[in-house]
Amino acid sequence: MKKSWSKDSRVWLGILLLLLLLGGILLNRGGAVPEEAYGVTINGVTVPPVPTLNPDQVAQGQQLYANYCSSCHGANLEGQPNWKQPLPDGKLLPPPHDSNGHTWHHPDDLLLQIIANGGDPAISTMPAFRDTLSDAEMRAVLAFIKTSWGREEREFQWWVSSRQAP
Ligand code: HEC
């Protein structure tokens, strides 16, 4: 008698667990998922959510930035004072790379191209790094630069980098 009761209770326990599981699945489906989890929407175009930066890549980029970029673009990515004002000979000054500059206006492809090929020598002292840095190293510097952007700048730059041309 005792034996069959405990068998019954195990069946009921099983049913209860199943119901809890089902309830959990249903609740989860209807649950509030934050809007931004679906991606970044600008001008009605949605791209996937902003990916998390790889800390190892960022650390490598920080070192490379200090060695190769900080002398012109500033130790804290602040650029040169009055960088918006070209020099009397028409040359442009190194702009900041943080949120105050316009680096974040441009997609990854263009930024990597500028780092690899340098600026137009007529108006720029930006060196070409293609013979100094590998593709992975240039990407690492860019990843480090991204850590200095605010959320809006980061989202915008991710959006311009990942949206498909119409
Ligand atoms: C000798 C000085 C100098 C060094 C060193 C230098 N830059 Fe520049 N960079 C400039 C100048 C000047 C400009 C602005 C003119 C231009 O865009 O070509 C510039 C522009 C840029 C731009 C374009 C920014 C924009 O918003 O259009 C990027 C990206 C950039 N540099 C990245 C780097 C990185 C990364 C390094 C290090 C690997 C680096 N620079 C090292 C002088 C320098």
Q: Which of 29-33, 39-43, 128-132 has the lowest mean pLDDT?
A: 29-33
| Pocket of ligand 1 contains residue 127 by CB under 6 Å | yes
CA 60–ligand 1 middle distance (angstroms): 18
Ligand 1 lined by 112 (C-beta under 6 Å) = no
Q: Is 58 in the pocket of ligand 1 (CB under 6 A)?
A: no
CA of 45 to the centre of ligand 1 (A): 30
> Is the pLDDT at 62 greater than 90, yes or no?
yes
Whether residue 144 has its Cβ less than 6 Å from ligand 1: no
Distance 111 CA to ligand 1 centre (A): 9
| pLDDT tens, residue by residue, 124-163 | 999 999 999 999 999 999 999 999 999 999 999 999 999 8
Q: Please report, as a single letter, which amino acid is at residue 4.
A: S
- Per-residue confidence (pLDDT) for residue 92, from 0 to 100: 97
Ligand 1 pocket, mutate which of 65, 72, 113, 146 (most atoms under 8 A from CB): 72
Q: Which amino acid is at 158?
A: W
| CA dist., res. 130 & res. 125, Å (int) | 15
Q: Which residues contact 129 (CB under 8 A, 6 or more apart)?
A: 68, 115, 116, 118, 138
- The model's pLDDT over 88-131, given as tens digits with 9 standing for 90+, comes to 999 999 999 999 999 999 999 999 999 999 999 999 999 999 99
- Ligand 1 mean position, distance from CA 146 (Å): 15
In degrees rounded to 5, what are phi and psi of residue 71? -60, -35
**Cα 115 to middle of ligand 1, angstroms:** 7
